[in-house]
Amino acid sequence: MKYPPFITIEGVDKAGKTTLMNLLNKHQDLIHWNGKRIVFTREPGGTDNVKAEKLRTFILGNEFDNLTQAYLFAASRNEHVMHTIRPNLSLGNIVVCDRFIDSSYVYQGLVGGLGVDVIQEINKYALHDIIPAITIVLVISPEESVKRLKEVTNPKEINVFDENVYLRNADKIHDGFIQLKKLFPKRIHLVDGTNDPKDILLNVVQIINEYIEEHE
């Protein structure tokens, strides 16, 4: 395979993205990749990307108009693509990212009202033509998501964004991800986030391995 796949993990808050990322990291050997490494990162921000992480704190900790948010997420994405994602893909490393452009499509585009086309336009230069090869959307009900967010998170850790955007729109955000599957049917894979984490891992590993085999 010429280029390593860029893989993104998406879904409503508390859908189990972090658990899946950790399991993938722990069981990297299951992925049939003869390249060099598998790199795990996240948005907004980016693992080992100090500037992008600073932007994360700023974006999630303040109240902004939806259009401002869309630009801020795109700005942070530009830093992340330029300094973390693209260099690693060029080195032959698979990159797995917790959230990416689809979160902007759903949160700022479909729910915030800008629409998918405007988000595409705003992100045109930030993406540098880096589009996910595989996107896993973990699906849990909005009710379960809100319950988990309130139960699991220390109230002090619920940020301005969670309060102002997520908790007010959980239903629409859930529906937005389902709608995205219709727009990008080949790239997006809906995976039941209520299944046992080990089964989710095996399901996702199979999707990744099939993609690698198909593109060899």
> Which residues of this chain interact with ligand TMP, rule CB under 6 A?
13, 43-44, 60, 73, 99, 103-104, 107-108, 161, 166
AA identity, residue 127: L
Tell me how far, at minimum, the Cβ of 161 lies from ligand TMP, in Å: 5
Report which secondary-structure segment, H or E, holds 8: strand 6-11
- Cα(first)–Cα(last) distance of the chain, in Å? 4
**Whose Cβ is closer to ligand TMP: residue 33's or residue 161's?**
161
Tell me how far, at minimum, the Cβ of 72 lies from ligand TMP, in Å: 9
- In whole angstroms, what is the distance from residue 197 CA to residue 13 CA? 16
Residue of 35, 23, 14, 32 lying closest to 153 (CA atoms): 14
Tell me how far, at minimum, the Cβ of 98 lies from ligand TMP, in Å: 6
Matching residue, tokens 């801020």: 72
Residue of 83, 127, 82, 125 lying closest to 102 (CA atoms): 127
The three-state secondary structure class of 35 is: coil
Tell me how far, at minimum, the Cβ of 15 lies from ligand TMP, in Å: 9
**Whose Cβ is closer to ligand TMP: residue 5's or residue 11's?**
11
**Whose Cβ is closer to ligand TMP: residue 12's or residue 133's?**
12
Q: Which residue is closest to ligand TMP by CB?
A: 107
Preceding peptide of 87 cis, ω within 30°: no
**Whose Cβ is closer to ligand TMP: residue 33's or residue 135's?**
135
Tell me how far, at minimum, the Cβ of 160 lies from ligand TMP, in Å: 11
**Whose Cβ is closer to ligand TMP: residue 91's or residue 160's?**
160
**Whose Cβ is closer to ligand TMP: residue 11's or residue 33's?**
11
Tell me how far, at minimum, the Cβ of 200 lies from ligand TMP, in Å: 17
Pair 97, 6: CB distance under 8 Å = yes
- In whole angstroms, what is the distance from residue 93 CA to residue 25 CA? 13
